[in-house]
Amino acid sequence: MTEDELSPYAAPAERDLETSLRPSDLSEFVGQHRVREQLELVLHGAMRRGNAPDHVLLSGPPGLGKTSLAMIIAKELNSQIRITSGPALERAGDLAAMLSNLVEGDVLFIDEIHRMARPAEEMLYLAMEDFRVDVVVGKGPGATSIPLDIAPFTLVGATTRSGALTGPLRDRFGFTAHMEFYSAEDLDRIVKRSAKILGVDLHDDGAIEIAGRSRGTPRIANRLLRRVRDFAEVRADGRVTEEVAKQALEVYDVDHLGLDRLDRAVLNALVRSFHGGPVGVSTLAVAVGEEPTTVEEVCEPYLVRAGMLARTPRGRVATPAAWHHLGLEPPAGDQLW
Ligand SMILES: Nc1ncnc2c1ncn2[C@@H]1O[C@H](COP(=O)(O)OP(=O)(O)OP(=O)(O)O)[C@@H](O)[C@H]1O
Ligand SMILES: [Mg+2]
């Protein structure tokens, strides 16, 4: 399995496939019950009053459905969605152009909003609050700023690192949806729905097997489904049963808890090289040859959720479950976690 296939990030070639599997309205959007209920109230409340809803921030690890939800928000509002991303808004002018083209009620979706350049971010404050931008004309002492009204819109921002957002930006969102990892039952429904769309002969026990190893992440569930389908077609009769799914996932190096090579490398380093911690995340990242942000955004959220890793003020610590998972006995004595 390649690096890309293990990752919760979407590979470029995967984007078209994802579009076909994307839930198109709230009723098709599985799980995230709390977020869905909250969002429904925010959207429908505003619609009743006939105004644009509060700006919405979607926060959570990659592959949990932030982009899907942004599209659904626009659809629920019967609005057009304009899509851009933090890295694309390098200059304030890029954002000004985008904002001044908005039509009343539009949804402006800014993906990876934590990666927006500072000048653009400052322009966005005013736009979010007063539906206004100050366009600077000219340079040096002669420069003047011309206020421009923009149409009332709803900003939907998505971020995998809400902690990296500046306070003023975070404060301007009326509602923040914290996306959570999905339960095995939800993932089971998601892979069954995807199998139907893709025409895969997925049996109940096969679905359970895939769902249980998907790290709580729909993108990974859908990807494992495609890999298992390949295996089923090449090495079996095309039917995805429990046995076929198990054999396939073994080939792809996904263990029964859904930990992949990188997760296990992190646990191994933590336990074997640092005696279970505490150790800083950057040291840990160097030990596994990864970027600290990858370890922090991709591995840790799931390892914490699986009860194997704890974040303490002094650094990352392996829990007894991590030692057991690697087939080792945790050291006796002080409990660090
Ligand atoms: N609640 C859901 N129900 C059904 N399918 C889902 C759900 N959430 C996500 N998916 C599936 O997972 C895929 C990835 O979702 P999406 O692109 O929305 O994630 P994301 O949070 O935007 O990820 P990233 O942080 O990488 O941008 C989608 O193509 C969709 O098929
Ligand atoms: Mg996305």
Q: Which residues are in the CB-under-5-Å shell of ion ligand 2?
A: 66-67
CA dihedral (181, 274, 269, 332) positive or negative:
negative
pLDDT in tens, 2-36: 445 557 888 877 888 888 899 988 889 999 999 99
User: Is the ipTM beyond the 0.90 threshold?
Assistant: yes
Do the Cβ atoms of 169 and 162 come closer than 8 Å? Answer: no
Assess whether pLDDT exceeds 70 at residue 283: yes
Give me ligand 2 centre to Cα 179, in Å: 12
pTM of the model: 0.89
Q: How many residues in total does the chain contain?
A: 337
The number of CA neighbours under 13 Å toward the Cβ of 42 is 21
Best substitution site from 64, 114, 215 to test ligand 1's pocket, by max atoms within 8 Å of Cβ? 64
Do the Cβ atoms of 255 and 264 come closer than 8 Å? Answer: yes
User: 32-178 in CATH: which number?
Assistant: 3.40.50.300
User: 184-251 in CATH: which number?
Assistant: 1.10.8.60
Give me ligand 1 centre to Cα 169, in Å: 24
Give me ligand 2 centre to Cα 62, in Å: 7
Say how far apart CA 289 and CA 306 lie, in whole Å: 23
Q: Of the ligands numbered here, which is closest to the C-alpha atom of 27?
A: 1
- Per domain, the residue ranges of the chain are 32-178, 184-251, 261-325
Q: Give the three-state DSSP class for 318.
A: strand
Choices 1.10.10.10, 3.40.50.10470, 2.60.40.1170, 3.30.1020.10: CATH for 261-325 = 1.10.10.10
pLDDT at residue number 336: 55
Average pLDDT of the residues in 50-74: 95
The number of CA neighbours under 13 Å toward the Cβ of 286 is 6
Neighbours of 147 (CB within 10 A): 10
Do the Cβ atoms of 16 and 267 come closer than 8 Å? Answer: no
Query: Sorting pLDDT into bands at 50, 70 and 90, what band is 1?
Result: very low
Best substitution site from 68, 69, 162 to test ligand 1's pocket, by max atoms within 8 Å of Cβ? 68
pLDDT at residue number 13: 79
